[in-house]
Amino acid sequence: MKVILRIAAFLMLIPVLALAAPVRVKDLATIDGVRGNDLVGYGLVVGLNGTGDSLRNAPYTEEMLAGILNRLGVNVAGENFRPKNVAAVMVTGTLPPFARAGSQIDVSVSAIGDAKSLLGGTLVMTPLNAADGEVYAVSQGSIIAGGASAEGEGARVVQGVPTAGTIPAGARVEREVDFDFSTMSSFRIALRSADFTTAARIEAAINRELGQDIATLLDSGTIAVDSAPLGQVNPARLVGRIENIAVEPESVARVVVDHRSGTIVMGEDVRISRVAVSQGNLTLRVRETPMVSQPNPFAPGETVVVPRTDAAITQEPGIGFAEVSGESSLSDLVAGLNALGVRPRELIDILKAVHAAGALHAEFVVN
């Protein structure tokens, strides 16, 4: 009995500890303008073990291969060559903020033709363009495919996605983004999840930490910071100090359910009004067991199929109504629903009905 009481006391303490746990500003928000830039390029993978594009179905692969060979001084005009060890691919990556020329970034490689696998292939030098059409990085290297495939005369086995892979540190930055952060005297903090309460707490925490009213709340997702009252200060050092300030975040009460997996996730702030719930299953079963009636050997008559139907309606014994008292917390809600002995998928239907009745005070999200 003492062990049970200790476990119950510990479970009651968990929400209190979770509520009081502070979170750093860097985990709640980003600095407006400090972001990455998407890069994309079209390239060619060579060295495949007969799993490349069939050039009859992917003529662009043959054209690109011929163009690369011509630039290397090999004239293949008019030649009839159809190798099976090359594949056309799309190369994607993200140029991180403040990336300098010579630094390396990871890239992803995906086949766009009918190649069966990129396992063991090598990406030939591929320029990566940003949205402005300029080349910011060049990619090349051996591909680490994310799957494997094997086939024979009568069967084929594929595990994972062998037509896509990555190249760690496979692109080298050639052009820098023109952005001088050191000259900025003001910047904005953008919350990842907009919330007025959280934004107000971040504003108050920044002003309290720095001893100056330099932070101003603009809206639920933006706080403006003006470093002018602090005098000559390095903006990068100021951001490094601000992003490590701890704040207790707030969030909207939300219930998220996933019908495919039967997953239910409920936040601590979910509340439910007084409601009574009853759950039961009604099963209708119809079974056909036809019988064959035939005369005795050499006797006159015909063989006849006699239908026989067994229909029944069964209902699982009910538990009656389970009442959840008004203004219940998350633990009270779960305890009340568990009293019905329902399974997770049935619990999803109950939560939907409680929400439709207006008793569930939370945002209800169904995936």
CA-CA distance, 333 to 322, in Å (whole number)?
11
Please state, in angstroms and as integers, the Cα–Cα distance from residue 347 to each residue in 241, 333, 352, following that order. Answer: 46, 11, 9
- Per-residue pLDDT, 322: 53
- Per-residue pLDDT, 12: 42
Residue 134 CA, distance from chain mean position: 30
Note the helical H segments in 1-154. 2-20, 59-71
Note the helical H segments in the chain. 2-20, 59-71, 196-210, 235-242, 330-338, 344-356
204, 242 Cβ separation under 8 angstroms? no
CA-CA distance, 29 to 344, in Å (whole number)?
34
- Per-residue pLDDT, 8: 39
Q: Tens digit of pLDDT per residue, the chain (367 long)?
A: 443 333 334 334 344 434 447 889 999 999 888 888 999 999 999 988 888 888 766 777 777 777 777 777 777 666 666 678 888 899 999 999 888 999 999 999 999 988 888 888 999 999 999 999 999 999 999 999 876 666 666 666 766 778 899 999 999 999 988 887 888 888 999 999 888 999 999 999 999 998 889 999 999 999 999 988 888 888 888 999 999 999 998 888 888 888 777 778 877 778 777 777 666 654 555 566 777 777 777 777 777 777 776 666 555 555 555 555 555 565 666 666 666 666 777 777 777 887 888 878 888 888 7
- Per-residue pLDDT, 11: 37
Please state, in angstroms and as integers, the Cα–Cα distance from residue 97 to each residue in 32, 39, 178, following that order. Answer: 12, 13, 10
DSSP state of 300: S
- Per-residue pLDDT, 143: 92
pTM of the model: 0.66
- Per-residue pLDDT, 246: 93
* Angle formed by the axes of helices 2-20 and 330-338, nearest 10°: 140
